[in-house]
Each structure stands twice: as structure tokens, then as C-alpha cells.
Structure 1
């Protein structure tokens, strides 16, 4: 399903749903960040997705990372909670979802890079190369917070 992201856009459609979701900051031993090239919006992003009923947020981060990338991780901390009501995603089925994302730091424990139905590319990317990728501003904020290892989680 295709989607369009609106970020602080006064012409954005009004949200009609909110779905708790997660993203994961996962770096390899070389300090490269695990990223996915999404099929739904053609943007690079952290691995992540919606939390399933009966699932904890940390478990969702582990599951979504494995599903989208083939990489196994364990959650090590909290980067922040991202709930900007001025960031909405419009899907082609009429849903307009308000952002609600919990971003975790993780440690890579194994696995092999592979794509999924949600990802057309998966890669470990050196932080110096991030500016060469098309990354949404709200995702870039999470990445910056995750890579700078802030003293306190972002709450916003």
C-alpha cells in the first residue's frame, strides 16, 4: 500500500487513526547504521512498524527489525517517543495516520541482511553517507537522536 508523509504541512489531511509503532537504531561493529529503503513511500528509514496486539513495544522492535532486514537485535535502551500531531501519513486506502513512534537503541546479535515485502533495499550505512539518502525529516530526527546517545530520551 502506498503512502504519502506530511510533516508540519498546513495542507495535510486530518488524521483519522493512530497506531503505536516502533523503530530501531542498530549499528554494526563498524559503526554503520542499519537502514531500509521502504517500498510504501520510497524513502530510507530505520527498521520498524506497528505494535501487534499482545506484543510489547521492545518485542515489536526486535520482530520488525528481523522481518524487514533479516538482522537479529536486542533492545538496549530508549531513544525517544515521537508523537508530533503535525506528522501524518496518508495511505491509499483512505487512512490518515498520526505519528506515534517509540524509537529504541539495539545491539545486533546476528542474522543476515535480506529484503522483505516492505523493503526494496537493506544496508548498513556509515553516518557520513546519510545525506546521500532520501530520508524523511522525522526519521532523520530519530536517527540523529539515536546516534548522539543523548542523556535523556526525547519526548515530543
Structure 2
């Protein structure tokens, strides 16, 4: 139904990147590793990208990275953080978008709320780390393995 967004995304990406570069200079993104009481991790499936991802997005002008991850969790997954997010790692996203960096934050204390993003997220769910979807985004999978299984941190997203 919304697969058309995945078809047009590669064509609209350069426009998004150009806009981001003009309004942000170097870009900074955040991803949230939300872990529930059963040690399951939260993943989202976008309408415009293939696979499952850690929720997150760009840091807006005038916004801290911590505020951005809290906002993105609420928008994309309806997750309301009940603690300050903990910075886990910093990664270069040069392969996907030159000049971009992604910060990974962890949130363990949260409650469910309403998603405020409309049309961006197809599915939201928690998964055991031994039962992640086969199409989990490589960068997200790497961050989960680093944070939850003690794998060495890779500076590249």
C-alpha cells in the first residue's frame, strides 16, 4: 500500500540531503535503543525504507541530541522517555551521507503513548535480541550487538 514511498525514496534522497546540508551544515542524527523489562529492543519499520530500524532521526536547530532522541521516540513509536537518555556511542555515517554522524542513546525507563508522526512509520514492535527480524538494518543490528552483547563498537554506522 505504501510501498510507493520506498520506490521514490532513492530519488528524493538527494533533495533531502541538499536541504539538510543547507539548513544544518554538518548533520547530526540520533537513534534510540529502547529496552523493555524483558530485555527486548524496540524497532520501527518505515514506510519509505526497507527493513527494521532503531527509531531516530535528525537533530533540529536549537535542539540538544538528548531532546532530539526523546522527540523522535515519541514521534515514531509513541515512547515517552521517563529518564534522561544515556549516550552509548558516536558513529560516522559517511558511507550513506557525507558529513553525517549518528549518536546512539539508550532508554530503559519509558511508557507507551501515542505516536505523533503520521505516514512515516509502518510498524513498531519489541523484539528479543535472539529473534530480530531478518531484514533488520545492518547499522541498527550492529548497534544492538554492541550494546546488548558486548561486541566491539564500530565507529562507522
| TM-score bin, normalised by smaller chain | 0.7 to 0.9
Does 1:136 pair with 2:144?
Answer: no
Output the CA distance in 1 between the equivalents of 2:145 and 2:78. Answer: 23
Output the CA distance in 2 between the equivalents of 1:66 and 1:84. Answer: 23
Question: TM-score by structure 1 length?
Answer: 0.73
Match of 2:120 among 103, 118, 121: 118
Question: TM-score by structure 2 length?
Answer: 0.73
Asked if the contact 2:42–2:124 (Cα under 8 Å) also holds between the matched residues in 1, the reply is yes
Asked if the contact 1:75–1:104 (Cα under 8 Å) also holds between the matched residues in 2, the reply is no
Match of 1:40 among 33, 48, 51: 48
Taking only aligned residues, the RMSD between alpha carbons, in angstroms, comes to 2.5
- 2:84 paired residue number: 75
Does 1:56 pair with 2:64?
Answer: yes
Does 1:20 pair with 2:21?
Answer: no
Which one has more relative contact order, counting CA pairs under 8 Å at least 6 apart?
1
Output the CA distance in 2 between the equivalents of 1:144 and 1:27. Answer: 13
Output the CA distance in 2 between the equivalents of 1:113 and 1:140. Answer: 26
- 1:127 paired residue number: 129
Structure 1 spans left out of the alignment, 5+ residues: 5-14, 89-96
Structure 2 spans left out of the alignment, 5+ residues: 11-16
Does 1:66 pair with 2:74?
Answer: yes
- 1:31 paired residue number: 39
Tell me: CA distance 1:142–1:116, structure 2 relative to 1, closer, same or farther (3 Å). farther
In terms of fraction of residues, the more helix-rich structure is 2
In terms of fraction of residues, the more strand-rich structure is 1
